[in-house]
Chain A
Amino acid sequence: MIGPLPQSVVPAIRMEGIDKSFGAIRANRGASVEVMPGEIHALVGENGAGKSTLMRILGGLMKPDAGRIEVNGRDVTGWSTNGAIAAGIGIVHQHFMLVPTLSVAENLVLGCEPKTRGISLDYKRAADDVRKLSNETGLVIAPDRLISDLSVGEAQRVEILKVLFRGARILVLDEPTAVLSPPEVRELWAVLRRLRDKGDTVVLITHRLDEVVEISNTITVMRAGQTVARVKTSETTPAEIARLMVGREVSLSAGKRVQPSGRRTGPQPDQGLEARNLVVVGSRGIRVIDGVTFNVKPGEIFGIAGVEGNGQTELIEALAGLRPVFAGEILVDGADITRRSVAQRHEAGVSHIPEDRQRRGLILEYTVANNLILGVQKYFSRNGIIDRDRVTENATRAITSFDIRPPNALLAARALSGGNQQKVVVAREMGRGFSVLLASQPTRGVDVGAIEFIHQQLLNARAQGKAILLVSAELNEVLALSDRIAVMYRGKFAVVMPAAEASEEVLGEYMIGTKKGTAA
């Protein structure tokens, strides 16, 4: 699959055999990438494929465990951030690296400040430089504004300006469009094309295929920490890239069509989960959820697709009681739980697999046994005292039936692999009595075996007549499991459709906002 390269041109970036592990997780295993000068190169792969790690190594933010890095033909393996900056590498991080309390100009010159008379910061020159660079690149922003006052799109402009200001000729952008509106995306493309045309090299990390096809010259595909292909954009199709990313034909309806046993006739109209005109206000006073209405019936999986950052996290948190609801109502089996606490929602039958198991879903220092009672500790105690026999018995049962490894109830959750940690969460949330399950990114960062296992658990719960709300960044996961699918775009449902009518192409258009539908 690796295409032939002209021998005469020295690649701008050449990384070979890169290994990098974080504990039990091997983010990169023998990954390689080769980028020619003056091209826009897309580095694609699913979440957790190791793209960001590879680029962080390139930027000197972490050292590889093994492998070799060359920039413009020079071996720079294991260099520092400063070395990377000096060599003209500029990384625009997914999470902005901007100091919110400083102005645009101050952020730009941080680390390479112009001085007057050797002591003081030449702020005027900094501001002038910003304006000059703005004019050259078309990235317009007032130098005196505070970062905390900027919109996300503006902050990203500052990020790009920042690396250009440092003389970057090789730009790496990590998921730059995840937070942008369509006009902002178009603007970004224009800027990147202009940079390429004047000879700069651009590496775009993304998992969005439409972008790849639209903007890139060459594509490197990563899967599970390895490089699986390097192709010319003009010589491939989105379907082929998708196949390479996932590693198999994207099958759209794996084993789903199991009819829920005997419940089809049953469900009362007010059973399951219902949200009416839900509004959630975010930290900046913006409506991150802006009037969402939907219901999830018993025995149904309702999938929510969408580019991350369009309100999915906030929606799940609001439903789970972790985020205040500004307006609207949430009902579970007909009961209004809008103002209830997390614990009261548990009682009402809400179970929740959170998107971030390490931060929310588990107490990493607690043992597996103790993690298996988090949220239900009340039922494992009598007169305020924890019943340790029942805790152990519960753990033994969960470890056996969910095949949690190593099978030791007294091990700290921290010591488990990501997949096994997730099994602990799933075992706990499915092990209690519930009627509604909120499953957010249930298979993120989990190995293949565990993914299938967790999918099977979700389908079993569906068969048992549970109402399941599934949020996932993996489009094929949503497509494979859901009965109905909604696409979230900027805090609203762009469309709700039966899964049978959905496909990656159809959903993709709603996800990027080029197509708007009415919520069905």
Chain B
Amino acid sequence: MTASSVTEGTKPTFAAAPWRERAQEALIPPLVALLVALICGDLLILSYGQSPAGVYRLLLEGTWGNAYGFGQVLYKATTLAFTGLAVSFGLRAGLFNIGGESQLAAGGFGAALVGLALPVGTPLILALLVCMIAAGLAGGVVGAVPAYLKTRFGAHEVIVTIMLNFIVLALLNWFIAGHLHVRETLHTPEIHAGVLPRLADINPRFHGSAANLALIVAVLVALAVWFYLFRARGGYELRAVGLQPQAAEYGGISVGRVWMRALTFSGVIAGMGGINYVLGYKHYYEDGFASGAGFLGIAVALVGRNHPFGVIVAAFFFATLSQGGLAIHAFVPKQMMDVLQGVVIIAVATAVPEVRRILRSARKRSDA
């Protein structure tokens, strides 16, 4: 029994966190997944008659090996960080937001609308602030719908957010195709104000890459999410609801209110991701720009183990895969990376519960 292991005279350790076990539980699944992905990648490369080592070297050179490639990784990681943070924020409250796709699109649309409405020459800081708020608001509105339906009617958020993806994207398509597009295209005119500076404006080595200061915003949002989850009372309550809703209710926490807050803010975070493309890259809203980034946010949250900093790392990983696909395309089709994404998600999703079970039973044996 554990109680007897503390003998008289030993100084009680009132605050010693069991870091090692938690680190094992968090890190082993992604590593397993990486291994599985590497094996699958080898097979795919070999099926194309290429050498895996050579292709991997090419992949690294094309992503982390030069400023342009790295800039593209940064750009892609930025959007994924937003959608990943959005999914993980919901999951911390026990809610699965699969609506990142449409929330991201709505956020971009909101930013573009406001950017178009502002007069030319609006002070940059003000314009940026207003555009970002618009992006967050638009995403938040899309997130609030499943939140309300869940709290009020008990409608399952997974299905509602999926269905909303199709509804919102169809609505936006109707807006763009029917009303707002530049002739012969499916995008809006360029915004008048609120353009985010690119990294290349600061360091010319990034020339040509789409990386922009939305990256900083993403990092700030990650910090804010971390602080909220682990330092604020709201986060204490939100995680309590996610872990054990009945215990939270017992502790006087309004589960419905937390659900409302979590899904709405999940939508806000995903919506803010829209600024990366709209304010930082193209300076207009284009139909379908969000395609895939919302769903990939689920993968990012999963691999990042729902921790804001883990999410940032995972966003870099998936961005590297995606950009790496372009780098190797001359030898192996970039579609290989689509396969690997799926493999990584399934491997992590499978390894997480399995590793937890193995570690727990091992711990139990060593306790006994």
Contact = CB atoms under 8 A, between A and B. Distances in A.
> Do A and B touch (CB < 8 Å)?
yes
Contact of A399 (B2, B3, B5, B14): B14
B364 interface: yes
A509 B209 CA distance: 84
B249 A365 contact: no
Nearest to B18: A411
A396 B16 CA distance: 12
Contacts of B330: none
B12 interface: yes
B15 A410 contact: yes
A386 B367 contact: no
Interface centre among B1, B231, B233 (most CB of A within 10 A): B233
A345 to B, nearest CB: 8
Given A342-B252, A406-B5, A410-B17, A360 B247 contact: yes
Contacts of A342: 249-252
B254 A361 contact: no
Interface string B215-257: 0000000000000000111101101100110111111111000
Interface string A370-413: 10011101100100111010001001100100000111111110
Contacts of A385: 231-233
Contacts of A381: 232-233, 236
B16 A352 contact: no
B234 A384 contact: yes
Interface string A277-296: 00000000000000000000
Given A375-B252, A399-B14, A408-B14, A366 B2 contact: no
B13 interface: yes
A392 B2 contact: no
Contacts of B248: 363
Interface residues of B, number: 34
Contact of A408 (B16, B250, B251, B252): B16
B23 interface: no
Interface centre among A320, A360, A374 (most CB of B within 10 A): A374
Contact of A375 (B12, B250, B254): B250
Contact of A341 (B1, B16, B18, B252): B252
B236 A370 contact: yes
Interface in A78-119: none
Contact of B14 (A346, A384, A407): A407
B53 interface: no
A45 interface: no
A346 B231 CA distance: 23
B362 interface: no
Contact of B15 (A24, A409, A412): A409
Interface in A327-371: 341-343, 345-346, 352, 354, 359-367, 369-370
A6 interface: no
Interface centre among A388, A406, A420 (most CB of B within 10 A): A406
Contacts of A262: none
Contact of A374 (B5, B234, B240): B240
B257 to A, nearest CB: 10
A407 B251 contact: no
Nearest to B10: A407
Contact of B3 (A320, A378, A386, A420): A420
Interface centre among B232, B234, B250 (most CB of A within 10 A): B250
A23 B2 CA distance: 11
Closest 9 CB pairs of A and B: A343-B252, A407-B12, A405-B3, A375-B251, A381-B233, A374-B251, A342-B252, A410-B17, A360-B250
Interface of B: 1-3, 5-6, 12-18, 231-234, 236-237, 239-240, 243-244, 246-254, 364, 367-368
Given A343-B253, A381-B236, 17 more contacts: A24-B367, A320-B250, A322-B249, A363-B247, A364-B244, A366-B243, A375-B250, A375-B252, A378-B233, A381-B233, A384-B234, A396-B15, A405-B6, A406-B3, A407-B14, A412-B18, A417-B2
10 contacts: A366-B239, A377-B237, A385-B231, A386-B231, A386-B236, A392-B15, A395-B14, A395-B15, A409-B14, A409-B15
